[in-house]
Amino acid sequence: MSSDKTDLKPQFTRGAVDILSRKTVYDGFFKMHKLRLRHRLYRGGWGGEMERELFVRGHAVGVLLFDPEHQLVALIEQFRIGALEREAGPWCLEVVAGMVEEGESLEDVARRELQEEAGLEVQELHFIRSYLPSPGGTCERMHLFCACADLRGIEGHFGLAEEHEDIRLRVFPLETVLEAVNSADDAIDNAASIISLQWLQLNRSRLETGATRG
């Protein structure tokens, strides 16, 4: 049977996976589950049983800060263990971000993290998109927003000491940041920041118009 090239939906859904067992093999700062499962095959029937480890993370929220009037972007800089062997070092430029806690809406998380990591309160949040950062090994889903604010003179140091956060908030000209994203430079090399900035590049005129009207 030929596939319809205009249909982006996968052939199978969640019902085509049979979870035979699941157990927690690590429960620390993060969690790790080991699953024994099988799933249906494109050629028909079921595949054999397999084991897979799953890095268990919930939903996360990222917020890009943009100043449409003064053409500025704010990013946070902080230590990241996953970037320990990165050529430029493990201090990374990123959008403001945090994990969703039970009972919180995505917007609540965005505003909480903006206060904790940038000392800002914003009213309007522009939804960018949500995506799976690495579905081959983790269940995390990232939800991205853009918040507009006056970013002049807001640079400083933020974060919760009890969570070992040491965050530097930095402000850059918009064009400098976009040039870095569109080059081979690894100054900004994490998915959430790149996706957010590419979205901004496509939607900046709409945000600028809104700021002028406001």
**Short-list 140, 146, 169, CA closest to 157:** 169
8 A C-beta contact, residue 190 and residue 94: yes
Burial of 84 (0-12, 13-18, 19+ CB in 10 A): exposed
8 A C-beta contact, residue 70 and residue 151: yes
102, 124, 163, 165: the active-site residue? 163
**Catalytic site includes residue 102:** no
* φ, ψ at 167 (rounded to 5°): -115, 130
| Cα of 50 vs its chain's centroid, Å | 30
- Return d(Cα 76, Cα 92) in angstroms, integer: 8
Give bridge partners of residue 143 from the DSSP assignment. 61, 130
Between strands 59-67 and 141-148, the pairing is parallel
Amino acid at 176: T
Count other Cβ atoms within 10 Å, centred on residue 30.
11
- Residues with a catalytic annotation lie at 163
